[in-house]
């Protein structure tokens, strides 16, 4: 697919409307790469002038910070800020709530001040601005439940943009008992994604998947590659792969628009 | 001789309040053992938070049943305490119901107090039933054994007894009952004393009056030793709470300084430190003991009333892990109390070979946290257990390099190839051609 880099843009003397920050998961994880491509299809469809950093992108350092390594975090942040400011980036869009959170809240003090959007917020804006239209027939009446990623929801108070988009697809949006500010974490946050869980009597992702299954969904929608992994594993662990799909909102749109 | 009760009353009052003031001073001193943090910005928002969250109890009703019951007890507590004012005046000057000259208004006041006292009594009994009969899980977590469990019950019993005494005191006040105004509840108790001699009823009335006020003073002094301190500390705690978005974790300024030095090509790495800084001990990263935490975190620990709402929403705790955010607060307070007692005994802190980390809070608890902020969101009085967990993680990683092995590998990968996994940074854009 056509994905210009900032370096290429600069060589042509162009400044894109947005920088799409792909993130490590979206770049390397096979499941998350599908989300990345779905979002790029949406950007193409809406004629958004965008670019990525490509090989110049590096970890935001978010996960190092949550693991307690403030030094590594700030090193990564300063290096990224140098690159981003070098390209005079004004607007960052990312499909990873953890990158979104750290760019929005923790980078400004370190010299990285950008307008930051989570991809669901950006998609909502595209729809509101009339640049993207949503077909509400393909997924009509499909039973969909939405899992709030902690770093989008509680951490940044964004509960409605993802739900607004989902509703526009004509689906039957079902709320779990624990939702929005009371949503249960998928179990991946705080660097848990990269380590085994401590001793306990259950895995967090299974508990959260059970929350979701109680709504009898056909699709579990979410807006975070890590939540996606955890919920997908939860669906497998509870033997529901045949009937329940875990999809990112970008994928839902790409599917519903046949992109 | 006739002034004996007045003198006795004055002594009890002075001793009761004196001890209370002494303990409050101790709490303030202990809280000040924490590091400095500036929470004086945005005064108007802070006042608003205090008004809404502490005074207005806005977050209590996230759980409607306990929330509404709590509001009844809270309103009862505040309003009925107006009556304590009259009791103190009566006690000191030997008057009886000194405010009764207010007439109809007085009847209205006492009448409201009686209704509230009954409501409080009922609410407190329901609280007891929730705890002991329904055994709601958050009251029965591991950390709620021994004193923490009994503490909660003592408070409920105290309130039951105080409210009952207030009603009995009114019911046994023959003159007050004869007026038949302001006694909407006690009039139904008054028949209990029918047939008793006037002297006996008077004795009951006096006993109830004395036990009530002495009970109030004992309760006041029990606060310091109990989880019930929240009735006072909820106010400063909500005022000084973090105003930032929950997702924003503070950037360590000392680290920023070092990173900037490292990234500045003009810095001479062999240069002597600037004048005056040669011998300065480098700041410790993170927290291994209570004195490494900031004073707001220490105030949080004294404010926690162990309701367990945080623990009941913690994903780690819900799946059987050691971590309980409530216990993080309880252990922080226990250690702070220990440090405080050490200072009382030795004049200043004498090393006791103990610290918050390991002796109270284990790394296993700290590593189980998903930083999901559910505990912070849930706390009805803006306590932030997550900030303590993060400070202690920082200490483990930055001072002790004691992260779990998998996390060390993850961090090495970030250092080497800019991603938590071991992939080549040159492959970052491969996804675009993979479909």
DSSP structure string for B250-315 = PPPHHHHHHHHHHH-TT--TTPPPPTT-TTPPPPPPS-SSGGGSBHHHHHHHHH-----HHHHH-H
Number of Cβ within 10 Å of residue A146's Cβ equals 30
Of A29, A33, A74, the CB nearest to B255: A74
Nearest residue on chain A to B398, judged by CA atoms?
A: A69
B206: its two tokens: 């006096």
Q: Which residues of B touch A154 (CB under 8 A)?
A: 246-247, 372-374, 377
Q: Is 60 exceeded by the pLDDT of residue B264?
A: yes
The predicted structure's pLDDT at residue B262: 85
Q: Which domains does chain A have, with CATH numbers?
A: 6-126 (3.40.50), 134-256 (3.40.50)
CA separation (Å) from B358 to B31, B212, B306, B328, B363? 22, 44, 22, 12, 7
State how far residue B343 is from chain A, nearest Cα, in angstroms.
31
Of A54, A185, A193, the CB nearest to B428: A54
pLDDT of B273 reads 63
Tell me whether residues B316 and A198 touch, CB distance under 8 A: yes
> A60 and chain B: CB distance < 8 Å anywhere?
no
Q: How is domain B253-266+283-422 classified at the CATH fold level? A: Fumarate Reductase Iron-sulfur Protein; Chain B, domain 2 (1.10.1060)
Residue A105 per-residue DSSP state: I
* pLDDT in the model for residue B263: 83
Looking at the complex, report in whole angstroms how far the Cα of residue B250 sits from the nearest Cα belonging to chain A. 7
Could B403 and A67 be called an inter-chain contact, meaning their C-beta atoms sit closer than 8 Å? yes
For residue B2, the model assigns a pLDDT of: 79
Q: What is the mean pLDDT of residues B332-347?
A: 97
Partner B contacted by A78 (CB < 8 A): yes
Q: Where are the beta strands (DSSP E) in A154-244?
A: 172-174, 219-222
pLDDT tens for residues A11-67?
999 999 999 999 999 999 999 999 999 999 999 999 999 999 999 999 999 999 999
Q: Which residue of A has its CA nearest to B246?
A: A155
A198 part of contact set with chain B, CB < 8 Å: yes
Is 70 exceeded by the pLDDT of residue B274?
Answer: no
The sign of the torsion formed by the CA atoms of B423, B429, B434, B435 equals positive
pLDDT of residue A81: 98
Measured in degrees and rounded to the nearest 5, phi and psi for residue B176 equal -60, -40
Domain spans of chain B, in order of start? 4-31+63-230, 253-266+283-422
The reported pLDDT for the residue numbered B279 is 56
> B63, B362, B418, B421: best mutation site toward chain A, by most A Cβ within 10 Å?
B418
Distance from CA of A234 to the nearest CA of B (A): 14
The β-bridge partners of A91 are A115
Q: How confident is the model at residue A219 (pLDDT cuts 50, 70, 90)?
A: very high
pLDDT greater than 60 at residue B68: yes
Q: Which long-range contacts (CB under 8 A, 24 or more apart) does B114-118 make?
A: B114/B166, B114/B167, B114/B170, B114/B182, B114/B183, B114/B184, B114/B185, B114/B186, B115/B184, B115/B185, B116/B72, B116/B75, B116/B76, B116/B79, B116/B80, B117/B76, B117/B80, B117/B163, B117/B166, B117/B167, B117/B185, B118/B163, B118/B167, B118/B185
CB nearest A59 (choices: B318, B372, B418): B418
Q: So what's the pLDDT on residue B265?
A: 77
Structural contact between residues A77 and A93, judged by C-beta atoms closer than 8 angstroms = no
Whether the CB of A41 is below 8 Å from some CB of chain B: the reply is no
Nearest CA in chain A to B365: A198
| Mean pLDDT, chain B, whole residue set | 94
pLDDT tens readout for residues B344-373: 999 999 999 999 999 999 999 999 999 999
- Inform me whether the pLDDT recorded for B435 exceeds 80: no
pLDDT (average), residues A220-234:
98
Q: Residues of A with CB below 8 A from B409's CB?
A: 194
Checking if the pLDDT of A77 tops 80, the result is: yes
Per-residue model confidence as pLDDT tens digits over B197-211: 999 999 999 999 999
* Predicted local distance difference test score (pLDDT) of residue B391: 98
Tell whether the model's pLDDT for residue A235 goes beyond 90: yes
Using the 8-state DSSP alphabet, how is residue B135 labeled?
Answer: -
* A192 at B interface, C-beta within 8 A: yes
Q: Do B247 and A151 touch (CB under 8 A)?
A: yes
Q: Specify the DSSP class assigned to residue B186.
A: G
pLDDT above 80 (res A83): yes
Question: What are A140-198's pLDDT values in tens digits?
Answer: 999 999 999 999 999 999 999 999 999 999 999 999 999 999 999 999 999 999 999 99
Best of A70, A78, A96 to mutate (most B CBs within 10 Å, chain B): A70
Residues B363 and B267: their CA atoms lie apart, in Å, by 37
| A110 interfacial to chain B (CB closer than 8 Å) | yes
* Half-sphere exposure for A251 (CA within 13 Å, toward CB): 18
Contact flag B429-A63 (C-beta cutoff 8 Å): no
Is residue B281's pLDDT more than 60?
no
pLDDT at A257: 83
> Which H or E run includes B149?
helix B147-171
Given a contact cutoff of 8 angstroms between Cβ atoms, the answer to whether B365 and B322 are in contact is yes
**Alpha-carbon gap, residue B268 to B270, rounded angstroms:** 5
Please give the average per-residue pLDDT across B66-74, as a whole number. Answer: 96
Look at residue B116 in the predicted model and tell me its pLDDT.
96
A75 and B262 within 8 Å at the Cβ level: the answer is yes
- Chain A residues in contact with B429 (beta carbon < 8 A): 3, 5, 27, 52, 54-55
Q: At what angle do helices B325-346 and B4-31 cross, to 10 degrees?
A: 110
Q: Cβ–Cβ of B420/A66 closer than 8 Å?
A: no
Q: Quote the tokens at residue B247.
A: 């997702």
Closest CA in chain B for residue A39: B432
> Which chain B residues are within 8 Å of A197, Cβ to Cβ?
319, 321, 368
Residue from the list B372, B418, B432 with its beta carbon closest to the beta carbon of A58:
B418
Partner-chain residue, chosen from B258, B318, B411, that has the shortest CB–CB distance to A69: B411
B116: buried, middle or exposed (CB in 10 Å: 19+, 13-18, 0-12)? buried
First-to-last C-alpha distance (Å) of chain A: 12
Question: A–B: how many Cβ contacts below 8 A?
Answer: 220
Q: Tell me the chain A residues in contact with residue B410 when contact means C-beta distances shorter than 8 Å.
A: 63-64, 67, 191, 194-195
A148: three-class secondary structure by DSSP: coil
Q: What is the pLDDT of residues A132-143, one digit of tens each?
A: 999 899 999 999
- Short-list B8, B211, B192, CA closest to B92: B8
Rounded to a whole number of angstroms, the distance from the CA of A258 to the nearest CA of chain B is 15
Render pLDDT for B134-187 as a digit per residue (tens, 0 to 9): 999 999 999 999 999 999 999 999 999 999 999 999 999 998 999 888 999 999
Q: Taking CB atoms and an 8 Å cutoff, what residues of chain B touch A104?
A: 245, 247
For the whole model, what pTM was predicted? 0.95
- What percent of chain B has a predicted confidence (pLDDT) above 90? 86
Cβ-Cβ contacts under 8 Å, B292 against chain A:
none
Asked if residue B55 has pLDDT above 70, the reply is yes
Enumerate residues 6+ apart whose C-beta is below 8 A from A106. Answer: A62, A65, A77, B248, B249, B251
Predicted local confidence at residue B217, as pLDDT: 95
What pLDDT was estimated at residue A62?
Answer: 98
Average pLDDT over residues B384-411: 97
Q: Which residues of B touch A3 (CB under 8 A)?
A: 429, 432
Whether residue A222 lies within 8 A of chain B, CB to CB, comes out as no
pLDDT digits (tens, 9 = 90+) for B93-116: 989 999 989 989 999 999 999 999
């Amino acid at each position: 697919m056509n994905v210009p880099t900032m370096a290429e843009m600069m060589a042509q003397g162009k400044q894109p409307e947005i920088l799409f920050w792909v993130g490590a998961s979206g770049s390397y994880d096979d499941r998350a790469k599908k989300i990345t491509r779905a979002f790029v299809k949406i950007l193409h469809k809406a004629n958004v002038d965008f670019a990525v950093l490509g090989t110049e992108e590096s970890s935001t350092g978010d996960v190092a910070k949550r693991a307690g390594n403030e030094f590594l975090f700030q090193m990564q942040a300063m290096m990224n800020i140098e690159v981003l400011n070098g390209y005079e980036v004004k607007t960052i869009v990312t499909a990873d709530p953890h990158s979104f959170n750290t760019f929005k809240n923790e980078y400004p003090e370190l010299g990285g001040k950008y307008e930051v959007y989570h991809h669901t917020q950006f998609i909502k804006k595209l729809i509101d601005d009339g640049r993207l239209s949503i077909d509400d027939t393909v997924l009509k009446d499909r039973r969909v439940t939405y899992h709030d990623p902690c770093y989008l929801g509680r951490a940044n108070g964004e509960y409605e943009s993802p739900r607004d988009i989902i509703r526009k697809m004509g689906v039957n949006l079902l709320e779990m008992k624990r939702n929005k500010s009371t949503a249960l974490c998928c179990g991946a946050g705080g660097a848990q994604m990269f380590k085994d869980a401590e001793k306990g009597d259950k895995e967090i992702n299974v508990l959260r998947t059970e929350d979701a299954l109680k709504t009898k969904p056909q699709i579990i929608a979410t807006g975070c590659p890590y939540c996606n992994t955890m919920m997908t594993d939860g669906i497998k662990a509870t033997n529901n792969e045949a009937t329940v799909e875990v999809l990112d909102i970008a994928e839902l749109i790409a599917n519903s628009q046949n992109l | 001789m006739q002034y004996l009760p007045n003198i006795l009353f004055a002594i009890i009052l002075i001793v009761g309040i004196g001890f209370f003031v002494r303990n409050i001073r101790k709490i303030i001193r202990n809280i000040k053992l924490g590091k400095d943090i500036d929470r004086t910005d945005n005064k108007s928002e802070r006042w608003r938070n205090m008004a809404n969250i502490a005074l207005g109890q806005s977050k209590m009703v996230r759980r409607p049943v306990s929330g509404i019951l709590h509001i009844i007890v809270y309103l009862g507590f505040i309003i009925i305490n107006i009556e304590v004012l009259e009791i103190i005046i009566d006690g000191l000057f030997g008057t009886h119901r000194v405010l009764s000259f207010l007439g109809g208004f007085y009847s209205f006041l006492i009448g409201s107090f009686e209704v509230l006292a009954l409501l409080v009594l009922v609410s407190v009994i329901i609280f007891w039933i929730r705890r002991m009969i329904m055994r709601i899980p958050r009251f029965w977590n591991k950390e709620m054994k021994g004193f923490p469990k009994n503490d909660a019950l003592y408070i409920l019993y105290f309130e039951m007894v105080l409210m009952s005494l207030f009603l009995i005191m009114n019911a046994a006040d023959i003159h007050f009952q004869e007026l038949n105004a302001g006694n909407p509840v006690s009039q139904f108790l008054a028949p209990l004393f029918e047939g008793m001699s006037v002297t006996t009823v008077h004795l009951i009335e006096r006993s109830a009056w004395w036990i009530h006020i002495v009970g109030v003073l004992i309760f006041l002094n029990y606060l310091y030793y109990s989880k019930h301190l929240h009735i006072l500390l909820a106010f400063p705690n909500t005022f000084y709470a973090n105003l930032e978005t929950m997702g924003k974790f503070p950037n360590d300024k000392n680290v920023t300084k070092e990173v900037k030095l490292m990234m500045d090509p003009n810095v001479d790495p062999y240069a002597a430190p600037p004048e005056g800084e040669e011998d300065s001990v480098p700041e410790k990263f993170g927290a291994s003991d209570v004195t490494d935490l900031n004073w707001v975190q220490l105030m949080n620990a004294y404010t926690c009333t162990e309701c367990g709402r945080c623990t009941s929403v913690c994903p780690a705790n819900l799946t059987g892990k050691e971590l309980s955010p409530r216990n993080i607060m309880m252990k922080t307070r226990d250690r702070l109390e220990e440090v405080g007692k050490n200072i009382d005994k030795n004049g200043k802190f004498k090393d006791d070979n103990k610290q918050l980390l390991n002796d109270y809070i284990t790394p296993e608890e700290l590593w189980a946290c998903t930083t999901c902020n559910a505990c912070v969101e849930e706390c009805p009085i803006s306590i932030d257990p997550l900030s303590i967990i993060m400070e202690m993680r920082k200490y483990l990683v930055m001072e002790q390099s004691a992260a779990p092995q998998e996390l060390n590998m993850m961090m090495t990968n970030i250092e080497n190839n800019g991603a938590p996994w071991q992939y080549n940074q040159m492959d970052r854009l491969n996804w675009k051609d993979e479909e």
